[in-house]
Homo-oligomer: A and B are copies of this chain.
């Protein structure tokens, strides 16, 4: 019998994997999770061999990855913290073995497999899988989570931009024909743990740069879930000399003049009862330090005197609400737990 509280975590050796481990080890609705590892890390027997920082915080068994072992284990939910090409291979096997799957990669984020193929430049999943997958942004799609077998955890930049824009777009307040600019900045943990010349200390420290202009993989998540033509969006990502956090500065023009009060009310109504989104008072803007090491997405904005130009600032922790924390939030809603369980 599958036990929903028993969890298999696969491939958690990077920064998001560490954050996921940290959260699950202290989650009241999770029984001691098991970590299945691939490659060099497969020799580890326990989690503190992989993450010595967890000593004193918690411990869990590690095993070499084996779908058969997972299938036989009684574990009911699997978190995939693997690259998309690995998730593409493992997710169907885990689903067949009767587990529910939360995938942190980009593999199942698009209904249309062609979008995956165009942006990730490799063959995508079968359409039957993408049709059934739920895009795991709980503030928008919580209703679909209780029945989801496969949840595609959103991209970190995408989460930040979509949560900022969706209320304004649904209300029809944005003049999208003038264009929307999402100018996003991320800390270096977003670039992964693998050493690369461009993420060495000397190259990141006292430096700042844009990258992936017009080619970032999170682009189609934003256009789809914001509801905007790709020709009307300019989405630019930058690398900040700090460890954690994404701050997105979103600039657009409104169809009609709006006051700060009206806009604040719109945001507050849209995110009423959503514990992980915090709305800032009109004219006050959130900062990265307010969300580091949390699962919050903080939203603030400024509107000009004419009421026609707006800047929305959206902050989150790329490893928290942008990855592992959001995965845990999805887990909570899939299983009927309170949304913020284990996240504050």
Contact = CB atoms under 8 A, between A and B. Distances in A.
A242 B183 contact: no
Nearest to A309: B234
Contacts of A303: 214
Interface in A221-237: 231, 234, 236
A56 B311 contact: no
Interface string A207-218: 111110110000
Contact of A185 (B53, B203, B208, B242): B208
A249 B206 contact: no
B193 A195 contact: no
The listed residue with most B CB atoms (<10 A of its CB), out of A179, A189, A294, is A179
Interface residues of A, number: 68
Contacts of A56: 275, 278, 294, 296, 344
Contacts of A313: 210
A200 B210 contact: no
A162 interface: no
Given A242-B206, A247-B208, A288-B207, A231 B201 contact: no
Contact of A242 (B57, B207, B293): B207
Given A181-B251, A289-B53, A236 B200 contact: no
This chain: copies in complex: 4
A189 B205 CA distance: 11
Contacts of A196: 195, 200
A178 B249 CA distance: 18
Interface in A301-321: 302-306, 308-309, 311, 313
Contact of A202 (B243, B275, B290, B302): B243
A183 to B, nearest CB: 4
A55 interface: yes
A123 B244 CA distance: 44
Contacts of A290: 52-53
B285 A249 contact: no
Contact of A208 (B193, B195, B240): B240
A185 B196 CA distance: 24
A75 B251 CA distance: 49
B205 A188 contact: yes
In the A-B complex, the 10 residue pairs with the smallest Cβ-Cβ separation, listed nearest first, are A209-B287, A183-B183, A201-B204, A213-B302, A195-B195, A181-B181, A207-B289, A234-B251, A188-B201, A181-B251
22 contacts: A55-B278, A178-B178, A181-B181, A181-B234, A183-B236, A183-B249, A188-B200, A193-B202, A203-B289, A205-B243, A206-B242, A206-B243, A206-B288, A208-B242, A208-B247, A209-B288, A210-B249, A210-B285, A213-B302, A231-B308, A231-B309, A293-B293
Interface of A: 15, 52-53, 55-57, 178-179, 181, 183, 185, 188-189, 193, 195-197, 199-211, 213-214, 231, 234, 236, 238, 240-245, 247, 249, 251, 253, 275, 278, 285-290, 292-294, 296, 302-306, 308-309, 311, 313, 344
